[in-house]
Amino acid sequence: MTDVNSPTGINEQTPFEQFGGHEFFQAFVHDFYLEVAEDQPLRALYPEEDLGPAEDRLRLFLEQYWGGPQTYSEQRGHPRLRMRHVDYKIDLDQRDRWLGHMRSALDKRELSPELDNLMWTYLTRAADSMVNSD
């Protein structure tokens, strides 16, 4: 991304900072999990009674992925997304439900088209890679 205010013309902020830092990711992930809580087929993938720990893990992961604090790895080790999800049957319907709630939460953030596309492209790729069942 270019930045006319930077002497190099390149935006030197991390994507984490460009998205809005911790506050962005906290609100984004919280809105996502509010919808997951009401989606019984998707909610069934979450074994914990309380979605709070899953919300924290996803927020920490996304913050780290986009250049924020390394707290996720410090607490949980390498993300190993596919390995961490292998015990859950994730089919195309589950993927689509997950993406639908992500899209809704992302739309509430009113990002620039460039940042929205950056996040959406990642989320779509990530969701596709988690499918492990017909």
Residue 1: inside a domain:
no
Residue 5: inside a domain:
no
Residue 7 has pLDDT above 70, yes or no: no
- pLDDT given for residue 2 in this prediction: 47
- pLDDT given for residue 82 in this prediction: 54
Tens-place pLDDT, residues 65-90: 999 999 988 887 766 665 555 667 88
Residue given tokens 């460039």 in the structure block: 114
Q: Per the structure, how many domains does the chain have?
A: 1
Q: Count of residues for the chain?
A: 134
Residue 11: inside a domain:
no
Residue 118: inside a domain:
yes
Span of 6-15, 35-44, 49-58, 108-117 with lowest mean pLDDT: 6-15
CATH number of the domain at 26, please.
Answer: 1.10.490.10
What average pLDDT does the chain have?
A: 87
Distance CA 66, CA 89 (A): 27
Distance CA 21, CA 73 (A): 18
- pLDDT given for residue 4 in this prediction: 44
Are the C-beta atoms of residues 86 and 132 closer than 8 Å to each other? yes
pTM: 0.84
Are the C-beta atoms of residues 103 and 120 closer than 8 Å to each other? yes
Provide the domain limits for residue 44: 16-130
